[in-house]
Amino acid sequence: MLTRQTELNIFKKKSEALLRVVPVALAGGGPVTQTIQIDEWFNILNKKYTIPVRRLGVKSPRSEFVNENFTGKIYSLDQEIETSASIKGIYKNVTDAVVREVEYLYSNGIRHITGVCCGYTSYGPFAFQRALKKVNLSNKNDILTANLMIQDSSFPDTDNLSESLDIDGYPMTRFYGPAYQSNSWLKIVFTLNAVVPFDVTLSKRIPQGCTPLLASFPFTKTYISKWQKKMSKSDAMEQLNGVIPSWEKITHNDLIIPFLSSDIWDPSFIGKWMTQQQFNTVVEGTLNFVKALSYVSKVTKKNVFLPIIKNAEKFILSQNMSDVYPMNAYEVSMKKRAVYIMPYNVIPQHLFINLIAASDIVVNRSTQSNSFIETIMTDTAQLVSIIPAADYMDGELMAMNLKHGLIAYNWPSEKIGMEIEKIITDNTYKNDLIGKFKQMLIKMNEDQKTNFGSILTEVSGLID
């Protein structure tokens, strides 16, 4: 039987510094919840163990997008990573910043660190390998070692990691296989964030040479408690007036059923980060879901409002489905019940709790998203429709142990509609669904082997 130490495959050392690295701008240049929460964990460990904390990343031009009182503090950067439009430029800029930081730590007497690299690309681990090599080849009798946690909700989204370098020695793709491999100076742990428990070793996309671990989302108890504060539907609806266009037209007799997802509806993504087959599952899944909402509107005799991002609205309305309309076709006095698409560009992160709390049901496109766990924390009923499917980002694998609340993209629309109707009309069924999701969340967060903060503490060698 493997011991916990063998499972983690890390240096058995107490870290002398913690280093957080975000290699590229996230969420359109704005800070994201998971990164902010990792910083909160660093702050917790800093206070408890008086361990130095350093942060590297791309400077955010959209700090106003986050309410720090809700999501956690946005900390200043100790080393800024310059942005670049090219893969080679990103590798170079990330490597330069990590090298500067590692040299700084070494010059201050630090000989063992733990890093957390946000994102599944190889930019960060490649930079760590280069930095340690540069320092240690010049100091063979007094080396610097590191444990590195790669944190994401997916392993690299490719079946074949690249092993090619350009003439200057930089990888030619975002996923360079050798960068994920532990060596005598660097031990790499890849934590896969999840709520639904599953065996991560079943994934065919685990990079060779690292240790894969299942972990909870990096949300602290403080952050979770903020989501668990009860909010009435009326209060939640009121706070969204002026945030989502035409929101004020919704009445308390209407149904609000958002589909929460980043943009997956743009055909230009095919070949970039989505295959044609995966995009086809997006098309089929979206059409079946919207048709299901039309069914729900008919049987409940209620208007159904579908908040969704703008590119999705453009796609849906291009299909000319019956009883599906844009908001400019809506009239309060309209006798005919229908589905109305409510497009939005950006909702500030701290207001997503209002959208979720105001909803009758939330549909998430994956168990990997922040909104999936946030819906659970808000005690709102939800369904999950895995799109893109066809092996996209291990989404189907991560949901395979989900015994409830899962709808397939290729289900007939009436079957999906009947499931939604049952949740709306049967409170016992709805509450049971909410309860089962919450049990999973509690188990992942309370288990020391899967709690992100516990894993970070253990990898850092800071266990009391």
* Tens digit of each residue's pLDDT (9 = 90 or more) over 330-353: 765 455 789 999 998 878 777 888
Does the pLDDT of residue 391 top 90, yes or no? no
Q: Is 353 left (phi over 0), alpha (psi -120 to 50) or beta?
A: alpha
- Select the more confidently predicted residue: 60 or 44: 44
Task: Determine the pLDDT at residue 1.
Answer: 34
Band of residue 208 on the pLDDT scale cut at 50, 70, 90: very high
Task: Determine the pLDDT at residue 6.
Answer: 67
Phi first, then psi, for residue 295 (nearest 5°) are -60, -45
What's the chain's average pLDDT? 90
Phi first, then psi, for residue 256 (nearest 5°) are -115, 115
DSSP-assigned states of every residue in 75-119: PPPSEEPPP-SSHHHHHHHHHHHHHHHHHHHHHTT--EEEEEEES
Which residue's entry shows tokens 């050798």? Answer: 178
Phi first, then psi, for residue 270 (nearest 5°) are -65, 125
Task: Determine the pLDDT at residue 398.
Answer: 78
Query: What is the mean predicted confidence (pLDDT) over 386-404?
Result: 83
- Select the more confidently predicted residue: 369 or 318: 318
Band of residue 29 on the pLDDT scale cut at 50, 70, 90: very low
Nearest-10 Cα torsion for 67, 42, 106, 145: -130
Fold of the domain spanning 229-425: Rossmann fold (3.40.50)
Task: Give the strand order in the sheet containing 362-364.
Answer: 259-260, 362-364, 382-385, 406-407
Does the pLDDT of residue 18 top 50, yes or no? yes
Q: pLDDT by residue (tens digit) across 147-206? A: 999 999 889 988 889 999 999 999 999 999 999 999 999 999 999 999 988 888 888 899
Q: pLDDT by residue (tens digit) across 224-271? A: 988 888 788 888 999 899 889 899 999 889 999 999 998 899 999 998
Contacts for 26 with CB less than 8 Å, ≥ 6 apart? 32, 35, 118, 119
Band of residue 317 on the pLDDT scale cut at 50, 70, 90: very high
**Residue pair 359/380 in contact by the 8 Å Cβ criterion:** yes
Other C-beta atoms within 10 Å of 30: how many?
Answer: 18
Does the pLDDT of residue 2 top 50, yes or no? no
Does the pLDDT of residue 4 top 80, yes or no? no
Band of residue 64 on the pLDDT scale cut at 50, 70, 90: low
Query: What is the mean predicted confidence (pLDDT) over 11-25?
Result: 92
What percentage of the chain exceeds 90 in pLDDT? 68
- Return d(Cα 180, Cα 144) in angstroms, integer: 18
Phi first, then psi, for residue 359 (nearest 5°) are -85, 150
Does the pLDDT of residue 292 top 60, yes or no? yes
Lowest mean pLDDT across 52-56, 87-91, 340-344, 397-401: 397-401
Task: Determine the pLDDT at residue 419.
Answer: 96
| Per-residue tokens: 9 | 């495959």
Domain boundaries, the chain: 4-222+446-459, 229-425
Fold of the domain spanning 4-222+446-459: Rossmann fold (3.40.50)
Taking the whole predicted model, whether its pTM rises above 0.75 is answered as yes
- Select the more confidently predicted residue: 1 or 435: 435
Band of residue 413 on the pLDDT scale cut at 50, 70, 90: very high
DSSP class of residue 444? H
- Return d(Cα 305, Cα 325) in angstroms, integer: 10
